[in-house]
Structure 1
Amino acid sequence: MSAESKPLSGLRVLVPRGGTWGELVSKALREQGASTVIAPLVDFGHTSEEDKLVDALHRLEAGDFQWMTATSATVVDVLAHHQAVIPKHTEVAVVGEATLQAFEAAGYEVARTPQDGDNTTEGLLKVWPEIETDEVLKVLTLRSDVAKPVLTEGLISRGHDVTQVVAFRTVGVPASVHIREDVQSGRINALLIASPAIAREVAKQFPDIPENTIVACVGPHTHEAAIDSGVKHTAEHVESDMKHALIETVESVIDQSDMLD
């Protein structure tokens, strides 16, 4: 397929997160013909449960947990920030391609992750045979302040001993003057909104989005948050083939769990 015939040819997309997530999404978009600008609009901040987190990480290093779960690549950053190490006998279960890549890049072996394209928290619960036995497992679940505790609730409902900790908060990051000018001028002609937190930052930081700019919200909750936040978008783009291709490309590599933080 030539560059001109790819579905996203000619599109310059703002990718609103960095790290493994941003690189994974950017690579997928470039393969479909887009050019990308990684400009993080959100990052992680210290949790309101810092003492609880520190205690849980000490217990983790001491070998108190048989399993640890994560649904965000940011958990790897939290572990590094606290200089915490997962013991070899503690097994790791994760959701999301970006999460998997981040853990593997940090040198951790992931024992359980969803299979067969069902890359969701429910999908992980389906392919985790150890949680369906009579043994009560001690599990540490680490998540963001905005992620729904689906894994935690699924494990508790099966009778396991779960320590759940909000490991980080999502905080806004101001875009550079250069990025704001590129959005306002239309040189960046597509904005990717991949979480409610990002929707709020887009509304606040880019109040005057040009009419020709495609605003692509990934997931219904994100779309609702964008509307509620007052993100301006052009109604004609709803049926745009390029907008649909942009969203589908992102969804092909990123699970909803990876969009919550």
Structure 2
Amino acid sequence: MKWFIGGSDNVEDARGGSKGKTLLGGGIGLIVVLVGLFFGTDLTGLVSQLPLGETGPVQVQQGANTDSELKFVSQVVKSTELVWDDQFRQMGKTYEHPKLTVFTESTPSACGLAESAVGPFYCPGDHKVYIDLGFYTELKDRFGAAGDFAQAYVVAHEVGHHVQNLLGISEKLERARGSLSKTEYNKLSVKLELQADFFAGLWANHAQKLKNFELDPGDLEEALTAANAIGDDRLQKQASGQVVPDAFTHGTSAQRVYWFKKGFDTGDINQGDTFNTNQL
């Protein structure tokens, strides 16, 4: 990827307890949906690890763009801001920028304690994406998904969940949760995740049109490899040797590739309704 823009002001560096400005995160109610967890883990119980309504202080390093990885993530976030600003403007809405917090091992969030083991996730309670950059090493070593565009896809997917939150999509799913069986809810969760993949593809389409970056040969394949590597069927097969479709929460490898590619190819948000289609 060749970048033509600077970084975002909405990236917080909470690694290593570095000294800097202390931010106090806001609390949330009982709606806690940790969507976008790449390992398909149900972590809604994390909310019990911190008192509802407060998250404790987060130490944020001043001058966050001090290393290449953080600079790259900051550029991705800035690009998502530019793209979704434009998309929301076309819908007659205003896009509220999320923040992205980079941490090591663990950090407080409005959804409970964010830990490296859970992978990147979006917390609707504080409108933040959380990521330990060590995940990129695991993405490369464990899943064979290397490359900068694969890394950008991860961030864009989580920002896609923020878009769903702002549009009220996530809330509708959560309201329905109490009346659904676990299998039925899992099916809706898959649709939510695949739509976030579509939004990630849509972002890449429009970011190029806005001249945020230019893709190098092989970049698209990097993102498709990442999407393919973290499908529920592949992860279940690796973990237990079995595939249990009723337990899927994020979609199969083929589905994730399909919806990312559809967003990338069409760039049309109206093509991303995963909830009212017979073809996932």
TM over 0.5: no
So what's the TM-score if we normalise by structure 2?
A: 0.25
Which structure would you say has the larger Rg? 1
Higher helix share: 2
